[in-house]
Amino acid sequence: MSIAGDKFDWNGGEEVVIREQRAIAVYRNPNEGIVIREQGGWDEDGDMFIVLTTAGAAYRLIDAIKRELDDLKAEKKGDAS
């Protein structure tokens, strides 16, 4: 792919090494809930929030993320062989 000129394809090719990722913050609110906050986009009115109100909910989310990461790692390992 030619990368010269004004018509660069940001959706394809191996030239793009990091895709867009909005900033994410994690903190506790005054009610001891764990807040996951995503920075709003230029076309949105504000940030997006997920509030986990119990420690159990937070641990279930952590477990689910770990499971997905393990699955992804296994899939990538399978692709390499």
Question: Residue 62 domain-assigned?
Answer: yes
Question: Residue 44 domain-assigned?
Answer: yes
Question: Residue 11 domain-assigned?
Answer: no
Distance CA 34, CA 50 (A): 8
The count of domains in the chain is 1
How high is the pLDDT of residue 36?
Answer: 97
13's enclosing H/E stretch is none
Integer CA distances (angstroms), 48 to 11, 29, 44, 51, in order: 24, 15, 9, 10
How high is the pLDDT of residue 4?
Answer: 60
Give which of 21, 18, 48, 19 is closest to 36, Cα–Cα.
48
Domain that residue 33 falls in: 24-80
pTM summary value: 0.71
On average, the pLDDT of the chain sits at 88
